[in-house]
Amino acid sequence: MEKFYVTTAIDYVNASPHIGHAYEKIAADVLARFHRIRGKDVFFLTGVDEHGIKVERTAAAAGKSPQEFVDEMSAKFKAAWEKLNVVPDRFIRTTEDEHKKVVQEMFRRMQEKGDIYKSSYTGHYCEGCEDFVRERDLDEQGNCPNHKKPPRQVSEENYFFKLSKYKDAIRKWMTEDPSRVQPDGRRKEVLNQLEDPEVTDFSVSRSKNSLKWGIPVPGDEDQVIYVWIDALTNYFTGGGGFEGNGYWPATLHLVGKDIIKFHCIYWPAMLMAAGVELPAGVFAHGFITVEGQKISKSLGNVIDPIALVEQYGADAVRYSLFSGSAFDQDGDFSGKELIRRVNSELANNVGNLLNRSLTLVDKNCGGKIPDCQPENLVRKQANLIHETVDEHMKKYDFSGAINAILALVDQANKYMNDEKPWTLFKEGKQKEGEEVLFTCLEVLRRTAMNLYPFTPELSQKMWYQLGYDDEVGKIGDSIRDDGFFDLIPAGQTVRNQGPIFKRIEDGDGGTDGDKAGSEVAKSAKGKK
Ligand code: MSP
All structural domains of the chain with their residue ranges: 3-285, 341-485
The residue whose CB lies within 8 Å of the most ligand 1 atoms, and thus the one to mutate among 6, 7, 11, 325, is 11
Active site includes 263? no
Give whole-number Cα distances, 31 to 94, 97, 118, 309, in Å: 24, 29, 42, 20
CA pseudo-torsion sign 181, 182, 188, 193: negative
**Ligand 1 centre from 497 Cα, in Å?**
41
Out of 118, 148, 172, 297, pick the active-site residue: 297
Per-residue pLDDT tens listing for the chain (528 residues)? 899 999 999 999 999 999 999 999 999 999 999 999 999 999 999 999 999 999 999 999 999 999 999 999 999 999 999 999 999 999 999 999 999 999 999 999 999 999 999 998 888 988 888 888 888 889 999 999 888 889 988 888 999 999 999 999 999 999 999 999 999 999 999 999 999 998 999 999 999 988 999 999 999 999 999 999 999 999 999 999 999 999 999 999 999 999 999 999 999 999 999 999 999 999 999 999 998 888 887 778 888 999 999 999 999 999 999 998 899 999 999 999 999 999 999 999 999 999 999 999 999 999 999 999 999 999 999 999 999 999 999 999 999 999 999 999 999 999 999 999 999 999 999 999 999 999 999 999 999 999 999 999 999 999 999 999 999 999 887 766 555 566 889 999 999 998 888 888 865 444 334 444 444 444 433 332
Active site includes 297? yes
Residues counted in the chain? 528
Active site includes 113? no
Domain 341-485 has CATH 1.10.730.10: yes
Closest CA to ligand 1's atom 17: 256
**Do 49 and 12 meet the contact criterion of CB atoms below 8 Å apart?**
yes
Domain 3-285 has CATH 3.40.50.300: no
Active site includes 380? no
Q: Which residues line ligand 1 (CB under 6 A)?
A: 9-12, 20-21, 23-24, 49, 231-232, 234, 255-256, 258-259, 287-288, 295
pTM over 0.85: yes
Q: What does the alpha-carbon distance between residue 514 and residue 304 come to, in Å, rounded to a whole number? A: 16
Closest atom of ligand 1 relative to the 255 alpha carbon: 17
Active site includes 264? no
**Ligand 1 centre from 94 Cα, in Å?**
16
The residue whose CB lies within 8 Å of the most ligand 1 atoms, and thus the one to mutate among 127, 259, 260, is 259
Give whole-number Cα distances, 415 to 243, 353, 361, 412, in Å: 57, 11, 16, 5
Active site includes 440? no
